[in-house]
Homo-oligomer: A and B are copies of this chain.
Amino acid sequence: MEIPCPMRIATETMGGRWRPGILWRLMDGPMRYGELRRGMPWISEKILIRHLRDLEAAGLILRTDHGTQPPQVDYRLTEAGQTLGPVLTAMAAWGAGRSAAGAERLGA
């Protein structure tokens, strides 16, 4: 029986360039596809939808199609996804701190 590296589990599930950003945004509650899209304009549609599917397959987010016309779909964190809260919060805080530190060095 193998004891895998816990970091591997983590990076393989929530790693990838954009996944933390998506999950982080969903922490505040459900968001519609378009909201996510507008919130991260630097990701192409294809990549966004792919990450959403992957995260859904990993059981971290839940996709709800309201079956209306016009279409309305929202995404939310599952319970498993919620457990990522501490990780996402820590990452975002670190990123914010690093960006502030960088701004300082530039003479702000």
Contacts and interface: CB of A to CB of B under 8 A. Distances in A.
Q: How large is the interface on A (under 10, 10 to 19, 20 to 34, 35 or more residues)?
A: 20 to 34
B95 A7 contact: yes
Copies of this chain, complex-wide, total 2
Q: Is the interface of A mostly helix, strand, loop or mixed?
A: helix
A97 interface: yes
Contacts of A94: 6, 10, 83-84, 86-87
A9 interface: yes
A11 B18 contact: yes
Contact of A6 (B5, B8, B86, B99): B99
B6 A92 contact: yes
A89 B101 CA distance: 22
